[in-house]
């Protein structure tokens, strides 16, 4: 019963470095999402993928790219990390219809110095 | 544009007392409403949802929420709080008439249950 698995759990980057956050779900969900959580701001949507082969921007996409590698996997890439990208990143998935709740991963705590 | 507000950053309640965590929303159509709970260093967990029908919805861990259309509210409630209920609670709203994927989360309310 793995659900949504995110790696790594923690990461420290230097400004300008790049990295990819990995996310995989084993529930056969169509939709996958990347959120960032910052104190006092709730969760903000970075990118989402409504189905395999499609990706779309959310509220705060600047500085990020995504890849929906297959139905299970949805990765988030920071090409040139900035201190403003210090945050906790959550991947989530959802079954096909919009009235289902999300299943979240346990998060990646990223610090950019 | 849709929005959701959680007016209290923190709610303190004594163990065994009833608890309420407030949420109000703004959408142009009929809302889909959700509550999630986040324990320390964990992802959010789905608690309950309102889509249509009975205004009182029941969810996991003994929680329930009441949808009030006239007051545009969806408050989370529990008759008797447990220390283990201490966590961060998020309300979320989706306007079905808007984007398929657009869900807006509140800023969260920290619930502290005092033994």
pLDDT value at position B102? 74
Instruction: Give B40-53 pLDDT, tens digit per residue.
Output: 888 899 999 999 88
Chain B residues touching A48 at Cβ < 8 A = 101
Sign (positive or negative) of CA dihedral A26, A31, A35, A41 = negative
Q: In the prediction, which pLDDT does A97 show?
A: 67
Residue that wins the pLDDT comparison between B27 and A10: A10
Closest CA to B108 of B94, B89, B84: B89
- pLDDT tens track for A79-93: 999 999 999 999 999
Interface test with A, best of B43, B46, B101 (most A CBs within 10 A): B43
Choose the closest CB to A106 out of B36, B43, B96: B43
Q: State CA B42 to chain mean position distance.
A: 18
Q: How confident is the model at residue B99 (pLDDT cuts 50, 70, 90)?
A: low
Residue B38 makes CB contacts below 8 A (sequence gap 6+) with: B44, B45, B87, B88, B89, B90, B108
Instruction: Quote the tokens at residue B69.
Output: 């259309």
Evaluate if residue B75 carries a pLDDT over 70. yes
Q: How far apart are CA A57 and CA B40, in angstroms?
A: 28
B88 interface with A at CB cutoff 8 Å = no
pLDDT tens-digit series, residues A7-38? 999 999 999 999 999 999 999 999 999 999 99
**Does residue B49 belong to the interface with chain A, where contact is any CB pair within 8 Å?**
yes
Quick check: B41 and A33 CB within 8 A? no
């Amino acid at each position: 019963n793995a659900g949504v698995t995110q790696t790594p759990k923690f990461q420290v980057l230097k400004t300008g470095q790049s990295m990819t956050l990995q996310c995989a779900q084993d529930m056969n969900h169509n939709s996958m999402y990347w959120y960032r959580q910052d104190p006092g701001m709730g969760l903000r949507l970075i990118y989402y993928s409504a189905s395999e082969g499609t990706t779309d921007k959310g509220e705060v996409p600047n500085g990020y790219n995504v890849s929906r590698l297959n139905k299970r996997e949805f990765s988030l890439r920071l090409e040139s990390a900035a201190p403003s990208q210090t945050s906790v990143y959550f991947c989530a998935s959802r079954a096909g219809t919009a009235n289902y709740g999300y299943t979240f991963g346990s998060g990646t705590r990223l610090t950019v110095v | 544009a849709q929005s959701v507000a959680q007016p209290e950053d923190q709610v303190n309640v004594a163990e065994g007392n009833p608890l309420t965590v407030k949420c109000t929303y703004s959408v142009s159509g009929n809302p889909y409403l959700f509550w999630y709970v986040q324990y320390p260093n964990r992802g959010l967990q789905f608690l309950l949802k309102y889509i249509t029908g009975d205004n009182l919805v029941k969810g996991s861990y003994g929680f329930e929420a009441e949808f009030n259309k006239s007051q545009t509210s969806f408050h989370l409630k529990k008759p008797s709080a447990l220390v283990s209920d201490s966590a961060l609670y998020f309300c979320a709203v989706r306007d079905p008439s808007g984007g398929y994927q657009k869900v807006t989360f509140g800023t969260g309310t920290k619930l502290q249950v005092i033994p």
